[in-house]
Each structure stands twice: as structure tokens, then as C-alpha cells.
Amino acid sequence: MTAMHFAIARSLPNVVYDLIEHGADLNAQDRLFKASPLHQAVKFKNLEILCMLLCYGADVTSVDRNRMTPLMRAIDMGETEIAYVLLDFYDDFSQTSKDNCDALLLAATNQNPIAVDLVKAGANPLCISDCHCDTFVFSLVYDKADFFKLIWFTHYHDLLDIETPFLLQYLKLCNFKKDEWVECLYLILTCPSAIDFVEQYKCFIESHRNHCITPLFQYLYLKFYKLQVQVNDRMKIMCLCLSLGAIPDFAELATVYEFYRFNEELQILIHVGGSLNFTFNLVNVNELLIMHILGKEPTHANVREKLYSFLLTKELVRWNDERNIVNFFKYVFVPLEVKKILVSTSLKVEHVVNIWPVMDAIEKSPTFPSLLDLTRNAVRNLIRKPNDKPYQFFDKANSLMLPKLLKNVICFKEPVYRLLNNEVDFRNSSCSVFYGIYGQLRH
């Protein structure tokens, strides 16, 4: 440690002045930390000595053993006032630390307000640190979107060169409040490079098939539900994504159904023309209901019942959301032997979760199928063909000369059973009409 470093550490501005006047080296580094007098002034938060050194021409580009300039050190310490003083002495912000962080990236990491002024002064927001994060990523964790919008309009086109798709980072990391989150997503999906952002996301998923990357619509609807985004905005954003080439898969439809059931959004996604391929390795009852909605469930009743039993038991064990299980009971009957298995499984997880809503639904669900249930399944088997696209089955069902309620029942848009307080509503008042149509279809 030099005499200059010692005087700064002891906050002795008069001694520092005398040393400067007698020719002391303004940029001498100590042996341990390679810190210059400017670094020392920042470390000990001495603004008076810092200004003195700057007035006498101390080198602001000097770096310590971590390759940090005095400005970078001040930002890293959260000393905003000192950082603003130093900012006026810089015109190049490209220097990076040992971790490959520049001054702007450090400011963004710490959500320091000086980040805005660094951008205005010419700092590049695309410096990537050793942890593969850049300023754009850290701008997403701010409470407000002002900083993100500042760098977005001038540098969004450069985001196509980063390894992880920016659209994925936005959906995964963005911390803005609902209105700003929606506003900024519109900015991304309507910019000149929007189609490239969606294509970047699609290519990333394709090249990382073994890494279980969350698909676009699945992430979108997770955020929609979490932020309680209104249906008009959900529809607009969904249609923008579709127009940019995004195609939903089977799991994405199940996510939409989980949060919003069978609504207009799900109906649009069924009709976009995707293959919606799936295997019978289903993981939850929502995916099972989507399979029914697409007209792809097993045609044989015994196979369907075994699949119901297996998935309901699996769902109870892993316990995602009791609403999904209770909802499923509204669409199918539950044989007595399956009920016994479900009750036994429910009791095993009783100490972990509240299983009583499910137990109540099991008790109230019918043990034998209603006439409406049987007829619905028979009509579905008559109108569907193995090679039909999902939308073709849906359109066939809606072209039947039936009341809207019964069309919705066929499409699994409307449940067969309503689990009431004291009884199950079978809606048998509609059965005669339904059964008559079924007879006409057979002939």
C-alpha cells in the first residue's frame, strides 16, 4: 500500500493534496488488490478525495485485479452518487471485468438507476457475462419496464444473435406488472423481427428436444393465468403468435384447458391446422380430456375405463390440482371398482393434501353411465374417422342438427354430469332428442 492509499483509507484529504503536489503517482496500484487511488477512494466512499484525484487527472480507465474500473467498482458497491461523478469522465464503456461484465451489465444486475444514463451515454446492452446473461435479461427483472423499453427500441434486432431465444427469456423471467408486461409483449410481437423471434424459439425447442423446453403457448398461458390477463389481450396475443408461425402442440392445448377450460381460445387453437400428435403416455386428466375433445380417445369402453382409472390414480398420487380431478368427474361415470381404488389412493395422500373435494366428487359421481353418456359416446364413434384432423371431428359434431347444448356435450365442451349438493343431474330431458338423432345417424 502506498502513502496515497494509506491517506485515502484514513480519509486525510490534506495529506492526499500534499502528496499530489509533491509528485506522488496518481495511478500507482497496491500490491494485493492492484487498486489505484481512485479505486481506493471509491472503496472508502470518499467523494471529496475522489473529486480531487479526478481534477488532477487520475486515470479512470485503470483496472484492479478483477479488471474493474473505478466506475464499475462504484456501481458494484451501489455507490450511485460516486458513480454519477465518475460517469462524466468516461466516453468508452467497453471495458469488462474478470466475469465479462461491463459497467452497464453491472448496473442492470443491481437495478441501479445509472443504467439508463449509461445507455444514453453509449453503453452497449449486449455484453454477455460468464453466466450467459446480458443487460436485456436483467432489464426484465426490474419492477418497471422503462429501462427495457429504452434499450429495446435501439437494439432489439441484435437479440437474434444470442444463444437462448429472447422470447423464451421474456416469458420466463419478466417481472413487470400486468399492464406493462402485456404492452412490452406487444412490442416484441409487432416489431419488424417478430417472425424471427418466433422462429428462433421454434428452432431452439427443436434442437433441445431432450431438455424439455417449455413450448411457447404453454409459457404464454402460464403467464396469462398468473397475471390474470384479460381475454381480449389473450386472444390478440395468441393470434399474433399464430400469424407469426407458432403452432400449438397437444400439451399446450392441455395447458389452455387447465386454466380456462373449453373457451374460444382453445377452439381457435384446435382449428389452426397443427397435427396435435400425442401418445398414450398421458400424464394428467387434462390431457385425457383434450384427447376426447380432439376425438382421439379409445373407442372401446373397457379401454377407456382402464385409462380413466390409471390416470385418475396417477393424478391423485402426484396431486397437481384437485379442480382438474373434480372437473373430470363431470364428463364420465366412475365404475364401483375404480371408485374403490380412488378412495384408497386418496386416503394415502390425506396427510399431504386436502383430498375432501375429490372424495366428495367420487361419492357423488355416478357408478353407471347415463343414457346421455352412452349416446354421446355412440354418436362420437359414428362421426369420427381414424385419419380425421382434430378440427374435422369438431366441425362434424357442430354440423349435426342438434341443439347447441347437445353439440357441446358431444364435443366435451359441456359436461354430462353436474355434481349437485344432493344429487347428480343427468339431463335426461335432452336424452330423447339425442337418442332420436343417434338412430337417424345409424340408418
Domain positions in the chain:
158-277, 285-442
pLDDT of amino acid 318? 65
Judged on CB neighbours under 10 Å (0-12, 13-18, 19+), 106 is buried
The 10s digit of each residue's pLDDT in 224-270 is 999 999 999 999 999 999 999 999 988 899 999 999 999 999 999 98
What pLDDT sits at residue 431? 54
Q: Say if residue 421's pLDDT is above 80.
A: no
Which residues does residue 424 pair with via DSSP β-bridges, in sequence order? 419
Q: What is the mean pLDDT of the chain?
A: 86
Residue type, 395: D
Share of the chain above pLDDT 90, in %: 48
pLDDT, average across residues 209-213: 77
More confident residue, 364 or 55: 55
Instruction: Taking the CA atoms of 404, 410, 412 and 415 in sequence, report the sign of the dihedral they define.
Output: positive
Q: Which cell numbers hold the place of 82? A: 460516486
Model pLDDT, residue 406 = 86
DSSP secondary structure, 380-415, as one string? HHHH--TT--HHHHHHHHHHSSS-HHHHHHHTTSS-
- Alpha-carbon distance values, 368 to 358, 374, 417, 419 (Å): 19, 10, 12, 14
Scan for cell 423499453, then name that residue.
Answer: 149
How far is the C-alpha of 264 from the C-alpha of 397, rounded, in Å?
16
Distance between CA 33 and CA 68 in Å, rounded? 11
Q: Say how far residue 191 (Cα) sits from the centre of its chain.
A: 20
Q: Count other Cβ atoms within 10 Å, centred on residue 384.
A: 18
pLDDT number for residue 423: 45
Q: Which residue has the cell 509528485?
A: 23
**What value does the mean pLDDT take over residues 378-383?**
88
CA contacts within 13 A on the Cβ side of 108: 30
Give tens-digit pLDDT for 114-155.
Answer: 999 999 998 988 877 766 678 888 899 998 999 999 999 888
pLDDT for the residue numbered 283: 67
Of the listed ranges 254-268, 295-309, 325-339, the least confidently predicted one is 295-309
- Which distant-in-sequence residues (6+ apart) come within 8 Å of 362 by Cβ? 329, 334, 339, 342, 343, 346
Rounded Cα–Cα distance for residues 239 and 411 (Å): 23
Give the Å distances, CA to CA, from 252 to 126, 134, 225: 32, 29, 14
List, for residues 8-53, the tens digit of each pLDDT value.
999 999 999 999 999 999 999 998 889 999 999 999 999 999 999 9
In angstroms, rounded to a whole number, what is the distance separating the alpha carbons of residues 158 and 251? 31
Alpha carbon separation from 251 to 27, 105, 217, 282 (Å, rounded): 61, 36, 9, 9
Q: What is the pLDDT of residue 108?
A: 92
